[in-house]
A and B are shown apart, each in its own frame.
Chain A
Amino acid sequence: MADYREAPLATRPKTLDPNEYFNLSPEQRRAEQDRAALRADLKRQYQTQLNNPHRKELIEDPALTRWVHARTNPYSYFRPTFKTSLLGAMFGIAPLFGLYFLFKTDRDRKAQIKAGTLERKFSLSS
């Protein structure tokens, strides 16, 4: 690990960071152990179901079910944050004003051409 050198513009992956191995506090280690215990529990449940000889149905993944439910019902999980409100403003509100402005300017110019009041400055090339 001492001679690992990452690509010039990339960041070092977390698993190869020496701080991850040597400078962890006891709380962090405790938290990691708890997480590993949860993962082992989930794996054990899955293996129990997988190796059940009388099982005829598919093994349901509750995490997948929750993800699909979240993906199909965005509103129930929606929370207005800075990012969502900025994107909503950029793609929802700004086009309204922008398009209004564009169409109004174009229509005004056409009306001016029809009425003969459009100012055409002299230019040599067009």
Chain B
Amino acid sequence: MHPTSLVMTSSLITIFFLLTFPVLTTLAPRPPEPTWALSHVKTAVKLAFFTSLLPLALFLNEGAETVITNWSWMNTLTFDINISLKFDLYSVIFTPVALYVTWSILEFASWYMHTDPYMNRFFKYLLIFLIAMIILVTANNMFQFFIGWEGVGIMSFLLIGWWYGRADANTAALQAVLYNRVGDVGLIFAMAWMATNFNSWEIQQMFITANNFDLTFPLLGLIIAATGKSAQFGLHPWLPSAMEGPTPVSALLHSSTMVVAGIFLLIRLSPLMENNQLALTTCLCLGALTTLFTATCALTQNDIKKIVAFSTSSQLGLMMVTIGLNQPQLAFLHICTHAFFKAMLFLCSGSIIHSLNDEQDIRKMGGMHHLTPFTSSCLTIGSLALTGTPFLAGFFSKDAIIEALNTSHLNAWALALTLLATSFTAIYSLRVVFFVSMGHPRFNSLSPINENNPAVINPIKRLAWGSIIAGLIITSNITPMKTPVMSMPPLLKLAALIVTILGLLVAFELASLTTKQHQHAPRLAPHHFSNMLGFFPGVFHRLMPKLNLILGQAIASQLIDQTWLEKTGPKAVASLNTPLASTTSNIQQGMIKTYLALFLLTLALVTLLLTS
């Protein structure tokens, strides 16, 4: 057998075995040793990362992509469900990225959660999540994809509600599950449509048979699935609420890997979407609305994790816009670069939160640049990468997206919203950096703040390297599948940069106002709108249950069942029959002798009449 395919398939199967082995060791009745988390799990992920570099190298060198069909699971005469793993451009690049980020997060979590009595279980959950994510990414058929999809949803629930004694955490976990479920309806509908019309769930067969069909309905179902999983507008409130989980969970799930599953679905099935203008326009408008709305909400939040969560949601909206532009590869590039700097932002904020004794409000931080210079520098690097500073990681993806948006014959409204959201990104990033690392500390110096622990510094350092060079490395080595527009007016080329700089200037101006004791009215409408998250959770989380309860209790039960149906049913029968019965019984006055005499008289008369 050719060595390339041999190495490719064996290294990919090795990755799966390396990741599942630590989970299997927990099934033994012997309790694991206290350092199991570090010695087994982190080592497994590190080894898996280095193993996954082999297929990446083979892919970059020879363009080798494989589809491994491992096991025929359920096969009928007409429909096959196999375990088949597809290692093409997307999964071969995403797997090392995800493993690298997870390796750093696990090392960080060994410090962050070291006082937790169930740290081993925490690491096991993270590992199961990672396995589900890799299953999702490498799936070649919709059934396997669905397994991974549900797996990441369940692990998200378990990990958000990690501190289950806290009512807010339970509510947030339940909210995540419910919103994801609503999205799953779309996915299951799309899968059912594909099974009945394409007669297969294998991706290759679907792409071939798709040319003869009108794909609007399944594509809308897939877009609904992406709305649920990737927190687009309408199904977005679970993502900020998911910050109730520990920071490693937020860093892994809700910034790098799980929330991109919806976008990844659309990228995987992008050949189906290429020719359907309705689906593309829906993605474009939905993404533009999401990115602006969540960026607006992020402007006035005071919890550092919530700001980063809204930032994640905004970038997800940007990825959705890219898909709407028919550029799945750019969206994928943004997924990979975004994983690095967003995970680093979360790790830096986790380190700061822990140093300040679990303080998450940025109004009570400050001056961290003098106290934790490395962490605040990496926070700044991450924020710069997020805003698309030239030649950092985010620039290669974000600027390319905005250039593509500028040069396409599309919705000017979507373009305006996206540019506005880009400037908002700069504003809230500067706000975070200003409140956290600049100025003087606004907290009591109760515990010594240090950066001595290598378990904290090394992950952040690795991710910082990733944030700086990942964009360059990935774009230099991947051939683009769609030709980008290279020549455009200078204003369009510099649009993203100009808008970002404008946002930074506005933010500087606003930040400098905080030192001048500027008195403003008690409640400004835009601030209130942004701070209350656009009133979306307040309205929808109360409106829908209230409507359901009114329809159920007031109308169906009380109005119809207990009153109208009573009135028209038994009571009407009673009210009709009672007069009849009472009249009939009132007529009988009990004069037996008279009745008997009349009866005998009429009997005699009839007998006489009949016989004569």
The range of chain A's interface size is 10 to 19
Q: Which residue of B lies closest to A80 (CB)?
A: B567
Please, how many angstroms separate the alpha-carbon atoms of A12 and B410 in the complex? Answer: 47
Tell me which residues across on chain A come within 8 A of B562, comparing CB atoms. Answer: 74-75
Across the interface, do A84 and B214 meet the contact criterion of CB distance under 8 Å? no
Residue B475 at the chain A interface, CB threshold 8 Å: no
Tell me which residues across on chain A come within 8 A of B571, comparing CB atoms. Answer: 75
Residue B208 at the chain A interface, CB threshold 8 Å: no
Residue B577 at the chain A interface, CB threshold 8 Å: no
| Nearest CB of B to A80, in Å | 8
| Nearest CB of B to A73, in Å | 8
The 8 A CB mask of B533-575 against A (1 = contact, 0 = none) is 0000000000000000000000110111011111100010000
Across the interface, do A88 and B566 meet the contact criterion of CB distance under 8 Å? no
Q: Which residue of B lies closest to A71 (CB)?
A: B558
Query: Which A residues from 48 to 73 make CB contacts under 8 A with B?
Result: none
| Nearest CB of A to B522, in Å | 13
Residue A16 at the chain B interface, CB threshold 8 Å: no
Tell me which residues across on chain B come within 8 A of A84, comparing CB atoms. Answer: 559, 563-564
Tell me which residues across on chain A come within 8 A of B559, comparing CB atoms. Answer: 84, 87-88, 91
| Nearest CB of B to A81, in Å | 11
Across the interface, do B563 and A78 meet the contact criterion of CB distance under 8 Å? yes
Main secondary structure of the interface of A (DSSP, over half): helix
Please, how many angstroms separate the alpha-carbon atoms of A73 and B417 in the complex? Answer: 55
Across the interface, do A88 and B214 meet the contact criterion of CB distance under 8 Å? no
Q: Which residue of A lies closest to B557 (CB)?
A: A74
Across the interface, do B214 and A92 meet the contact criterion of CB distance under 8 Å? no
Q: Which residue of A lies closest to B556 (CB)?
A: A91
Across the interface, do B563 and A91 meet the contact criterion of CB distance under 8 Å? no
Residue A25 at the chain B interface, CB threshold 8 Å: no
Query: Which A residues from 73 to 101 make CB contacts under 8 A with B?
Result: 74-75, 78, 80, 84, 87-88, 91-92
Across the interface, do A92 and B560 meet the contact criterion of CB distance under 8 Å? yes
Residue A28 at the chain B interface, CB threshold 8 Å: no
Across the interface, do B564 and A88 meet the contact criterion of CB distance under 8 Å? yes
| Nearest CB of B to A53, in Å | 38
Query: Which B residues from 479 to 504 make CB contacts under 8 A with A?
Result: none
Query: Which A residues from 105 to 126 make CB contacts under 8 A with B?
Result: 125-126
Please, how many angstroms separate the alpha-carbon atoms of A88 and B556 in the complex? Answer: 9
Tell me which residues across on chain B come within 8 A of A78, comparing CB atoms. Answer: 563, 567
Across the interface, do A91 and B560 meet the contact criterion of CB distance under 8 Å? yes
Tell me which residues across on chain B come within 8 A of A74, comparing CB atoms. Answer: 558, 562-563
Across the interface, do B567 and A92 meet the contact criterion of CB distance under 8 Å? no
Please, how many angstroms separate the alpha-carbon atoms of A91 and B554 in the complex? Answer: 11
Tell me which residues across on chain B come within 8 A of A75, comparing CB atoms. Answer: 562-563, 566-567, 571
Q: Which residue of A lies closest to B558 (CB)?
A: A74
Across the interface, do B555 and A87 meet the contact criterion of CB distance under 8 Å? yes
Tell me which residues across on chain A come within 8 A of B214, comparing CB atoms. Answer: 125-126
Query: Which B residues from 565 to 595 make CB contacts under 8 A with A?
Result: 565-567, 571
| Nearest CB of B to A97, in Å | 15
| Nearest CB of A to B351, in Å | 43
| Nearest CB of A to B257, in Å | 40
Please, how many angstroms separate the alpha-carbon atoms of A84 and B564 in the complex? Answer: 9
The 8 A CB mask of B348-372 against A (1 = contact, 0 = none) is 0000000000000000000000000
Please, how many angstroms separate the alpha-carbon atoms of A92 and B565 in the complex? Answer: 9
Please, how many angstroms separate the alpha-carbon atoms of A87 and B558 in the complex? Answer: 11
Please, how many angstroms separate the alpha-carbon atoms of A91 and B564 in the complex? Answer: 11
| Nearest CB of A to B447, in Å | 45
Tell me which residues across on chain A come within 8 A of B556, comparing CB atoms. Answer: 91
Across the interface, do A88 and B560 meet the contact criterion of CB distance under 8 Å? yes
Tell me which residues across on chain A come within 8 A of B558, comparing CB atoms. Answer: 74
Please, how many angstroms separate the alpha-carbon atoms of A92 and B559 in the complex? Answer: 9
| Nearest CB of B to A92, in Å | 5
Please, how many angstroms separate the alpha-carbon atoms of A87 and B555 in the complex? Answer: 8
Please, how many angstroms separate the alpha-carbon atoms of A84 and B560 in the complex? Answer: 9
Of the candidates A80, A91, A126, which one forms a contact with B555 in the assembled complex, judged by CB atoms under 8 Å apart? A91
Q: Which interface residue of A78, A80, A84, A125 has the most chain B CB atoms within 10 A? A: A78
Tell me which residues across on chain B come within 8 A of A80, comparing CB atoms. Answer: 567
Q: Which residue of B lies closest to A88 (CB)?
A: B564
Q: Which residue of B lies closest to A77 (CB)?
A: B563
Tell me which residues across on chain B come within 8 A of A87, comparing CB atoms. Answer: 555, 559
Please, how many angstroms separate the alpha-carbon atoms of A126 and B216 in the complex? Answer: 13
| Nearest CB of B to A109, in Å | 20
Please, how many angstroms separate the alpha-carbon atoms of A91 and B559 in the complex? Answer: 9
Q: Which residue of A lies closest to B564 (CB)?
A: A88
| Nearest CB of B to A79, in Å | 9
Tell me which residues across on chain B come within 8 A of A91, comparing CB atoms. Answer: 555-556, 559-560
| Nearest CB of A to B526, in Å | 15
Tell me which residues across on chain B come within 8 A of A125, comparing CB atoms. Answer: 214
Please, how many angstroms separate the alpha-carbon atoms of A125 and B216 in the complex? Answer: 13
Please, how many angstroms separate the alpha-carbon atoms of A81 and B56 in the complex? Answer: 74
Please, how many angstroms separate the alpha-carbon atoms of A88 and B558 in the complex? Answer: 10
Q: Which residue of B lies closest to A87 (CB)?
A: B559
| Nearest CB of B to A76, in Å | 10
Q: Which residue of B lies closest to A83 (CB)?
A: B559
Please, how many angstroms separate the alpha-carbon atoms of A102 and B502 in the complex? Answer: 58
Tell me which residues across on chain A come within 8 A of B560, comparing CB atoms. Answer: 88, 91-92
Please, how many angstroms separate the alpha-carbon atoms of A80 and B562 in the complex? Answer: 13
| Nearest CB of B to A102, in Å | 20
Q: Which residue of A lies closest to B566 (CB)?
A: A75
Please, how many angstroms separate the alpha-carbon atoms of A78 and B567 in the complex? Answer: 9
Please, how many angstroms separate the alpha-carbon atoms of A84 and B567 in the complex? Answer: 12
Please, how many angstroms separate the alpha-carbon atoms of A59 and B214 in the complex? Answer: 69
| Nearest CB of B to A108, in Å | 25
| Nearest CB of A to B43, in Å | 58
| Nearest CB of B to A112, in Å | 24
Top-6 shortest CB links A-B: A88-B564, A78-B563, A74-B562, A74-B558, A92-B560, A75-B566
Identify 8 new A-B residue pairs, CB closer than 8 A, beyond the known A91-B556, A91-B560. A75-B562, A75-B567, A80-B567, A87-B555, A88-B559, A88-B563, A91-B555, A125-B214
A-B contact pairs, 18 of them (CB 8 A): A75-B566, A75-B567, A75-B571, A78-B563, A78-B567, A80-B567, A84-B563, A87-B555, A87-B559, A88-B563, A88-B564, A91-B556, A91-B559, A91-B560, A92-B560, A92-B565, A125-B214, A126-B214
Chain B residues engaging chain A, CB cutoff 8 angstroms: 214, 555-556, 558-560, 562-567, 571
